[in-house]
Amino acid sequence: MAKKHPETKFLAVEKVVSVAGVLLQKINENELTNVKLLYEDISKEIIEINDKKVDKIYLNFSDPWPKKRHEKRRLTHPNNLKEYRRILKDDGEIIFKTDNTGLFEYSLETFVNSGFELIYVDNEYKLIEDDVMTEFEKQFREQGIAIHRLIARKKD
C-alpha cells in the first residue's frame, strides 16, 4: 500500500521478529520513505497515539487466537476496538482481512457492538483495484482458501 500510495504515511506495527524483518527488507528494497516500522505489540504502542490522528487501520491476517481463553489477544477484541475508535478520525475506517472464518464471524459482532458501522462485508473476497495482496493472502488463495474482508467505519 505504501508503494501504491507514496503520498500517504504508513505506520506498520509487527511483534513477530521474522515478519518485521521481511517487512523491513521490503521497505528498504522499495526505498519507501513513507513507512515507519515499529517492532512492538500494537496494544503497547497504541496508547502513545493521539486521539483522532489516524485515517485507516489495516488488520491483515492477524493471529486468530481461536481458544476462548486467548480471546483478549485478538486484534478485534472489544478492548482493542475501543482504542482504535479513540485514535481514528471521525470518519476513520478499519479494513480487516482474514482467512479464518471463526475470527471473521467473531469480528463482525465485535465491530458492531463496539460502535462501528459495517460498510462492506465479503466472505469470498476477490482482490479489488485499490487493494494489494499480502504474502499470506497469496498463499491462502493458491490453496483455494476463501478470504474474508470487511470495512468498518467509526460511528459517532
Per-residue pLDDT tens over the stretch 54-106? 999 999 999 999 999 999 999 999 999 999 999 999 999 999 999 999 999 99
φ and ψ at residue 33, rounded to 5 degrees: -105, 0
CA gap 150, 39 in Å, rounded: 26
Higher pLDDT, 128 or 29: 29
**63 carries an active-site annotation:** yes
User: 40 with 47: CB under 8 angstroms?
Assistant: no
The predicted model scores a pTM of 0.89
User: 155 with 81: CB under 8 angstroms?
Assistant: no
Residue partners of 21: CB distance under 8 A and separation at least 6: none
Residue 43 has pLDDT above 80, yes or no: no
Question: One of 41, 55, 63, 156 is an active-site residue; which one?
Answer: 63
